[in-house]
Amino acid sequence: MPNQITQCYHLNTDIDFTVFRIQKGVLYLCMVAGQGICIVIRLYRGMSVMTRYEEVAGILRERIEHGIYRVGDRLPSIRAVCQELDVSISTAQEAYRQLMDVALIESRPKSGYFVLPSRVPSVLPSVSRPAQRPLDISQWDQVLELVATQRDDVRLLLGRGIPNFDYETLRPLSKILAGLHRSNDLHGFNYDKLNGSPELRQQVARLAIASGCLLHPDDIMVTTGCQEALAIALRTLTQPGDVVAVDSPSFYGTMQILKANGLKALEIPTDPQTGISLEALELALEQWPIRAIQVTPTYNNPLGYTMPEARKRALFQLAQRFDVAIIEDDIYGDLSFSLPRPRTVKSFDDDGRVMLCSGFSKTVGPGLRVGWLAPGRYRDQALHMKYVSTGASATLPQLAVAEFVAKGHYERHVRYATRQYQRQRDIMISWIQRYFPKGAGISYPQGSFLLWVELPAAVDCVKLNQRLAQHAIHVAPGSLFSASGKFRQCLRLNYAFTLTPSIENAVRTVGELATEMVEEAQTHATSVI
């Protein structure tokens, strides 16, 4: 007799009916009468209270709830379910549709069905509360520790902002590069145009259409990575001592450019879902002589937010009203988990005040050093800054990326990579929820491959890194992303790499050591009392 009760009916009699699980179309009823008398009735499909697809959906739901199928796992195919449970294809399809309706699973084209997180993380990171004045930038020593690593570094760098290089979809690029190196044409060893290869600029202009931007190839200049694009934009717009408004937390690379150019950062409160506070930014523009606004409004690094389209438009209008330029970092914009990808602030720009920075470091590989800048009305000044910094960018990587994009390989690679990243995001979130201290705030990006985690105040992630060093593990502490070293209880994690059991063990170690720090703080507080 089945041992799981699914429903109980209490009638206006001395008899209660308990419905047991249906198995292969058979319904079991248990009638409990007075004096402990139990009668089991075996009913058949025609009298069932649960349809067959509901039964199948229930079985799959139980397996998910009990961890047999974990977050990110691929579920059995329709055919496999039909064979295992002896049901028709239409029944299995309807069962899967039911699970999708309640957001337990999702269907991915040509890949199958995958388990989703039970919900958006119940605790999100807090809205930032930065200092309300311009600040000098510090934290270079911590940034250097994170980026100055060798390829043979034995540490597991869980916080580095690099994509996955192991996907087969990158093989065509390798072949293209090899072909260019073997070519007898020595054009690739010469300087290219100051604003970059015409072939590449044409492909960038074509890709930009997806973000709502209608750019001519001459509107684009190629840079040595997106980092140079950001540096050129800031040097074009500012002089030493100027104030730049940034979201908080903000990408440490941009913060160090501010430091190198003698600029001050004015951090603006930022929401983990909607982005930079426009209200706070407006007050700051009224109070301080802000020369530029630097934001990463799409799949923000590190907070993960994407500004809603209406707020992006409002941000541009605000900049227009105060006659200030916007530097938009869109390096993660193509890594969207859904289509169409979000629009850029640049797509609303009708007077050329938005300098759009992007590149291929996060979608293809940072070692290529291929970025680009759409400088708008500041084109001439930006070209001058390009000339006095690196001059022309390396030619061969430009030609390789241009061909990679032109032949459709780039779009195929991005589609494949984002499917993997979405799955791996869900797995990483499930690990954090399982191993990290209770109440940890977790971001929920809809693209890219970076997570922001806010731990209890007792956890200092700089000190946490010191403990992790004994395990050859390193995370990106939150203090890197602030001018004043705030967010010490926060860290950034990368989920782009293949999530192997060793990665899970590393995440577990991070969580255990963080929990240990929380317990130590509680013990200390108790002893003081």
pLDDT in tens, 457-466: 999 999 999 9
Quickly list H helices, 303-353: 309-321
Q: Return the higher-pLDDT residue of 430 and 182.
A: 430
- Fold of the 194-410 domain: Aspartate Aminotransferase; domain 2 (3.40.640)
pLDDT in tens, 470-502: 999 999 999 999 887 889 999 999 999 988 999
pLDDT of residue 254: 93
pTM for the model: 0.79
pLDDT class of 184 with cuts at 50, 70, 90:
low
pLDDT of residue 137: 79
- What is the number of other CB atoms lying within 10 angstroms of the CB of residue 358? 29
Q: What average pLDDT score do residues 337-358 get?
A: 95
In this model, does residue 15 exceed pLDDT 50? no
pLDDT class of 30 with cuts at 50, 70, 90:
low
Q: Return the higher-pLDDT residue of 30 and 122.
A: 122
In this model, does residue 82 exceed pLDDT 60? yes
Range with lowest mean pLDDT among 58-72, 114-128, 323-337: 114-128
pLDDT in tens, 306-326: 999 999 999 999 999 999 999
Q: Which of the given ranges, 98-112, 143-157, 289-303, has the highest pLDDT on average? A: 289-303
- For residue 38, give the H/E element and its range: strand 38-43
Percent of the chain whose pLDDT exceeds 70: 87
Helix axes 252-260, 140-147, angle to 10 degrees: 130
Q: What average pLDDT score do residues 180-202 get?
A: 84
pLDDT of residue 28: 52
- What is the number of other CB atoms lying within 10 angstroms of the CB of residue 441? 19
pLDDT of residue 50: 67
| Residue among 225, 280, 282, 286 nearest 248 (CA) | 280
Kindly report the length of the chain.
Answer: 529
Q: How far apart (Å, rounded) are the C-alpha atoms in residues 401 and 46? A: 63
In this model, does residue 149 exceed pLDDT 50? yes
Is the domain 52-115 a CATH 2.30.42.10 member? no
In this model, does residue 146 exceed pLDDT 80? no
Residue 213 identity: C
